[in-house]
Amino acid sequence: MGDLVRFGISLEKELLNKFDLQIRGKKYTNRSEAIRDLIREVLIKSEWQKNQEVTGAITLVYNHHKRELVNQLMDIQHDYHDNVLSAQHLHLDHDNCLEIIAIKGRASRVEELFGKLKSTKGVKYSGLARATTGSKII
Ligand code: NI
């Protein structure tokens, strides 16, 4: 961690009260850590917007009885093998599967991969947790 800097913030009391209520609900012990997290969120969002090297996780839920769908999802992942770090497949019940795909690469490429998986007919749920490599975030 770098040198700590203290700085003052002026804002409306009502806004601060709402913020305090929010962070208390999220179990932050002080405002500083909550503000640090907000800043990190902005920086990570910017990494994605600026098409930098990012990481994250794609989650999918689908019915594995639809063989064509399973093949399509596999083909797409192979097309993006440079971006797929690992894929974990969990059998939720007799019909449904949960797949968690760890990804890394240029943000645009990862978004493209996510878009293709998400739009595959028969996928019941898809989500993308947009994370960071951490190398530019303190
Ligand atoms: Ni399964």
CATH of domain 53-132: 3.30.70.1150
Chain segment 29-47, per-residue pLDDT in tens? 889 999 999 999 999 999 9
User: What is the three-class DSSP state of 92?
Assistant: coil
Q: How far is the CA of 107 from the centre of ligand 1 (A)?
A: 28
Residues 6+ apart with CB under 8 A from 58: 99, 100, 101, 103, 113, 114, 117, 126, 127, 128, 129
Residues 6+ apart with CB under 8 A from 78: none
Has residue 138 got a pLDDT over 80?
Answer: no
Give residue limits of the domains in the chain: 13-49, 53-132
138 and 56 Cβ atoms separated by less than 8 Å: no
- Rounded to the nearest 5°, which phi and psi values hold at 26? -95, 10
- Cα 16 to ligand 1 centre (Å): 47
Which pLDDT does position 6 carry in this prediction?
92
User: How far away, in angstroms, is 93 Cα from ligand 1 center?
Assistant: 8
Q: 91 CA distance to ligand 1 centroid (A)?
A: 4
User: Is this prediction's pTM over 0.85?
Assistant: yes
Model pLDDT, residue 14 = 96
- For a pLDDT cut of 70, what percent of the chain falls above it? 99
